[in-house]
């Protein structure tokens, strides 16, 4: 008898072969199924409760995927592509997962029948390239020359991104805000320069866009209420110093020899603080912001001299204040000069809901803005924030890359038709596989219809017919349960979103298809996965 060879550590799970591939595909489809219903304007939301009992209500594919805590190794790739889509373009996270799931579903019968997965991968790659070429070919460039027109087209992109979200009823209101916000940024369009603050209460329409910085009143000591709460053209000192009476060194100990010295030390300590405060006062600053706490002595000192101060300002707010008002964060007061201090036209404290907010408006270098969100409940505002984030990302993308295509399933239908035409000209197995790719693309309009409760077969047939006749922008019309020219209807998306979604989806699909063995070390994660060992399990010869 042959001796047993133990190759892998005891307890290692490994599985391989075709059955492993099929099993992975099934897992991915299960994941795709759970975000399926969130697609489109009639998509529903998911409520996910985590172990701490905190609820998240979302319609954003990436958020849902993140919350689901997927452990299946193959299914995790889908989570990753959703995340990468979110990071790269910010929108279309649901469609990318759906597309990847559908690509795998379409290829499953071929795998079962014995088509080699490498052939499939090759065909899918080819199809993806064809699609990207086609998108670039038919995408329409929005002109930047006409200011009003350019703005209008950006607004349309923002509106499309928001149409599937909770706030779609207010999209006319928000699209202007989003575009305003993005246009305010400088050329690099850094996202963190748009601050989003949430205040419960009020209607969505009470949301306001501040051209400058706004942040919540920080914790204050006695004396704060006596400080003036509004200034015109104040100088703003931004500090990173603790203005408090405290031990200068934590680890120091003073030995006092006699009583007279004792008083000197006390005076010296006060001297240090007062020195700092005096310097700030002399610099002419009217508003003092610090990342570190500003104590009661300092608060009272400032209120005595008609100055305003806020301690423990969050770092990002301070950064945005610099962007808006100029100046820089100082770690010493010795260097307070006009050049290192910021300024703005108007500073005031205002009540919003139950909180008081500090507003810095009319800033000279306003390359930043703040959106103060209002809404009925925390979850509601969280979701609004995510939706606005998506819309902002889309507008940024549209600005950087000015080609757009029609949404609502129109571009997918057109690509599907194009691929089908191409596939006919290819001899060999690839014909079938590219056909499968074409069919997979139809999942987007199909799902849009399903979510809205329409007869998807009927509408898809109508769409195929229109596209065959050469009407390339026809897509699903959710409002009227019909099809419509979505380019005309102003359902626009940046073409980059689509290109990125297609690339990511097909790459994920290819990745999953190319895996034929999973080796899982013991205790590297909970639960068993990937099906039980097929054939030669546990790495041992039977």
Partner 1 sequence: MASVGALAFDEYGRPFLILKDQENQKRLSGVEAIKTHIMAARTVASTLRTSLGPKGLDKIMVSPDGDITITNDGATIMKMMDVEHQIAKLMVQLSQSQDDEIGDGTTGVVVLAGALLENAEDLIDKGIHPIRIADGYEMAARVATKHLDTVADIFSVDPNNLEPLIQSAMTTLGSKIINKCHRQMAEIAVNAVMAVADREAKDVNFELIKVEGKVGGELEDTILVKGVVIDKDFSHPQMPKELKDVKIAILTCPFEPPKPKTKHKLDVTSVEDYKKLRKYEQEKFEEMVNMVKDAGAGLAICQWGFDDEANHLLLQKKLPAVRWVGGPEIELIAIATGGRIVPRFEELTSAKLGFAGLVRELTFGTTKDRMLVIEECKNSKAVTIFIRGSNKMIIEEAKRSLHDAMCVVRNLIRDNRIVYGGGAPEISCSLAVVKEADKIKSTEQYAFRAFADSLEAIPLALAENSGLSPIHTLTEVKARQIAENNPNLGIDCLQTGTPDMKVQHVIETLHSKKQQILLATQMVKMILKIDDVRSPADRL
- Looking at the Cβ atoms of 44 and 332, the one nearer to partner 1 is 44
Q: Which of residues 164-203 bind partner 1 (CB under 8 A)?
A: 166, 169, 200-203
Starting at the earlier edge strand, list the strands of the sheet with 346-352.
Answer: 212-216, 355-361, 346-352, 230-232
- Looking at the Cβ atoms of 137 and 253, the one nearer to partner 1 is 253
- Closest distance of CB 494 from partner 1, Å: 26
- Closest distance of CB 89 from partner 1, Å: 24
- CB burial string 304-337: b at 16+ within 10 A, e below: eeebbbbbebeeebbbbbbbbbbbebbeebeebe
- Which one from 38, 56, 77, 94 is the annotated catalytic residue? 94
Contact in structure between 475 and 410 (CB atoms under 8 Å): yes
One of 23, 106, 343, 387 touching partner 1 (CB under 8 A): 23
- Looking at the Cβ atoms of 409 and 494, the one nearer to partner 1 is 409
Contacts of 225 (CB under 8 A, 6+ apart): none
Q: How many positions of this chain bind partner 1 (CB under 8 A)? A: 93
Contact in structure between 539 and 131 (CB atoms under 8 Å): no
One of 6, 7, 87, 254 touching partner 1 (CB under 8 A): 254
Query: Measured between alpha carbons, how far is 519 from 11 in angstroms, rounded to an integer?
Result: 11
Query: Measured between alpha carbons, how far is 153 from 171 in angstroms, rounded to an integer?
Result: 14
Q: Which stretch binds partner 1 (CB under 8 A): 20-28, 87-95, 132-140, 149-157?
A: 20-28
Backbone angles phi, psi at 332, to 5 degrees: -140, 150
Q: Which of residues 373-432 bind partner 1 (CB under 8 A)?
A: 375-380, 383
- Which one from 38, 56, 60, 368 is the annotated catalytic residue? 60
By DSSP bridging, strand 13-16 and strand 308-310 are unpaired
Contacts of 101 (CB under 8 A, 6+ apart): 28, 29, 31, 32, 33, 78
Q: Which of residues 342-371 bind partner 1 (CB under 8 A)?
A: 350-351, 353-354
- Closest distance of CB 284 from partner 1, Å: 21
By DSSP bridging, strand 308-310 and strand 287-290 are parallel
One of 252, 425, 469, 523 touching partner 1 (CB under 8 A): 252
Site string for partner 1, 513-532 (x = CB under 8 A): -------------xxxxxxx
Contacts of 288 (CB under 8 A, 6+ apart): 236, 237, 239, 243, 280, 294, 302, 307, 308, 309, 310
Q: Which two tokens stand for residue 502?
A: 């297609």
Q: Which of residues 112-131 bind partner 1 (CB under 8 A)?
A: 112
One of 12, 17, 26, 403 touching partner 1 (CB under 8 A): 26
- Looking at the Cβ atoms of 1 and 252, the one nearer to partner 1 is 252
- Closest distance of CB 255 from partner 1, Å: 5
One of 204, 363, 388, 422 touching partner 1 (CB under 8 A): 204
- Looking at the Cβ atoms of 255 and 523, the one nearer to partner 1 is 255
One of 6, 87, 226, 468 touching partner 1 (CB under 8 A): 226
Does position 455 bind partner 1 by CB under 8 A? no
Does residue 390 carry a catalytic annotation? yes
Q: Which of residues 232-251 bind partner 1 (CB under 8 A)?
A: 245-249
Site string for partner 1, 69-108 (x = CB under 8 A): xxxx--x---------------------------------
- Which one from 38, 63, 93, 518 is the annotated catalytic residue? 93
One of 148, 253, 425, 428 touching partner 1 (CB under 8 A): 253
Query: Measured between alpha carbons, how far is 40 from 48 in angstroms, rounded to an integer?
Result: 20
Q: Which of residues 262-281 bind partner 1 (CB under 8 A)?
A: 262-263, 265-266, 268-270
- Which one from 86, 91, 382, 390 is the annotated catalytic residue? 390
Q: What is the DSSP letter of 2?
A: P
DSSP letters, 349-381, are EEEETTEEEEEEES-TT---EEEEEEESSHHHH
- Looking at the Cβ atoms of 327 and 375, the one nearer to partner 1 is 375
Query: Measured between alpha carbons, how far is 81 from 509 in angstroms, rounded to an integer?
Result: 10
- Closest distance of CB 449 from partner 1, Å: 12
- Looking at the Cβ atoms of 109 and 190, the one nearer to partner 1 is 109
One of 133, 172, 186, 304 touching partner 1 (CB under 8 A): 304
Does residue 94 carry a catalytic annotation? yes
Site string for partner 1, 39-68 (x = CB under 8 A): --xx-xxxxxxxx-x-x-x-x--------x
- Closest distance of CB 312 from partner 1, Å: 16
Q: What is the DSSP letter of 189?
A: -
- Closest distance of CB 541 from partner 1, Å: 21
Q: Facing residues of 355 across strands?
A: 352
- Looking at the Cβ atoms of 286 and 467, the one nearer to partner 1 is 286
Query: Measured between alpha carbons, how far is 514 from 266 in angstroms, rounded to an integer?
Result: 74
Neighbours of 275 (CB within 10 A): 12
Does residue 60 carry a catalytic annotation? yes
- Looking at the Cβ atoms of 20 and 283, the one nearer to partner 1 is 20
By DSSP bridging, strand 230-232 and strand 346-352 are antiparallel
- Looking at the Cβ atoms of 70 and 405, the one nearer to partner 1 is 70
Which residue spans within 427-537 are E strands per DSSP? 474-477, 482-485, 492-494, 517-520
Contacts of 246 (CB under 8 A, 6+ apart): 295
For the annotated catalytic residues, the residue numbers are: 60, 93-94, 390
């Amino acid at each position: 008898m042959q001796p047993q060879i133990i190759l892998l550590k005891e307890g290692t799970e490994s599985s391989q072969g075709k059955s492993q591939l099929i099993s992975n595909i099934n897992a991915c489809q299960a994941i795709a199924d759970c975000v399926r219903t969130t697609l489109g304007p009639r998509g529903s939301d998911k409520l996910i409760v985590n172990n701490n009992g905190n609820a998240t209500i979302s319609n954003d594919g990436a958020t849902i995927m993140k919350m689901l805590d997927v452990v299946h190794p193959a299914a995790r790739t889908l989570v990753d592509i959703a995340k990468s889509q979110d990071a790269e373009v910010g929108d279309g996270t649901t469609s990318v997962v759906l597309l990847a799931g559908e690509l795998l579903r379409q290829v499953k019968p071929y795998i079962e029948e014995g088509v080699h997965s490498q052939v499939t991968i090759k065909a899918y790659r080819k199809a993806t390239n064809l699609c990207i070429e086609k998108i670039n070919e038919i995408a329409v460039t929005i002109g930047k020359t006409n200011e009003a027109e350019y703005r209008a087209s950006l607004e349309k992109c923002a509106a499309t991104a928001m149409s599937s979200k909770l706030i779609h009823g207010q999209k006319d209101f928000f699209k202007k805000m989003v575009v305003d916000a993005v246009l305010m940024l400088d050329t690099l369009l850094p996202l963190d320069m748009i601050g989003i603050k949430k205040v419960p209460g009020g209607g969505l329409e009470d949301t306001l866009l501040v051209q400058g910085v706004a942040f919540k009143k920080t914790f204050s000591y006695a004396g704060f209420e006596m400080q003036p709460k509004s200034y015109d053209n104040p100088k703003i000192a931004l500090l990173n110093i603790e203005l408090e009476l405290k031990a200068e060194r934590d680890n120091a100990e003073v030995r006092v020899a006699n009583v007279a010295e004792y008083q000197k030390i006390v005076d010296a300590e006060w001297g240090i603080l007062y020195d700092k405060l005096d310097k700030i006062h002399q610099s002419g600053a009217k508003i003092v912001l610090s990342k570190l706490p500003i104590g009661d002595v300092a608060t009272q000192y400032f209120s005595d001299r008609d100055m305003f101060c806020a301690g423990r300002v969050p770092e990002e707010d301070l950064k945005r204040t610099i962007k808006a008002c100029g100046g820089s964060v100082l770690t010493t007061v010795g260097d307070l000069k006009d050049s290192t201090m910021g300024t703005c036209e108007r500073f005031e404290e205002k009540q919003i809901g139950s909180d008081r907010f500090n507003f810095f408006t009319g800033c000279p270098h306003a390359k930043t803005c703040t959106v103060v969100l209002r809404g009925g409940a925390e979850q509601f505002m969280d979701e609004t924030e995510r939706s606005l984030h998506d819309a902002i990302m889309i507008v940024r993308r549209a600005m950087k890359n000015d080609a757009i295509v029609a949404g609502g399933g129109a571009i997918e239908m057109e690509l599907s038709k194009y691929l089908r035409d191409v596939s006919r000209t290819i001899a060999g197995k690839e014909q079938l596989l590219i056909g499968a790719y074409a069919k997979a693309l139809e999942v987007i309009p199909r799902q849009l219809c399903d979510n809205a409760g329409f007869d998807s077969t009927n509408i898809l047939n109508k769409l195929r017919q229109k596209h065959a006749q050469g009407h390339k922008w026809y897509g699903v019309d959710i409002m009227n349960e019909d099809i419509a020219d979505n380019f005309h209807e102003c359902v626009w998306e940046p073409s980059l979103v689509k290109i990125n979604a297609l690339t990511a989806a097909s790459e994920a699909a290819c990745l999953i298809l190319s895996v034929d063995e999973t080796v899982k070390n013991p205790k590297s994660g909970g639960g068993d996965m990937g099906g039980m060992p097929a054939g030669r399990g546990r790495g041992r010869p039977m």
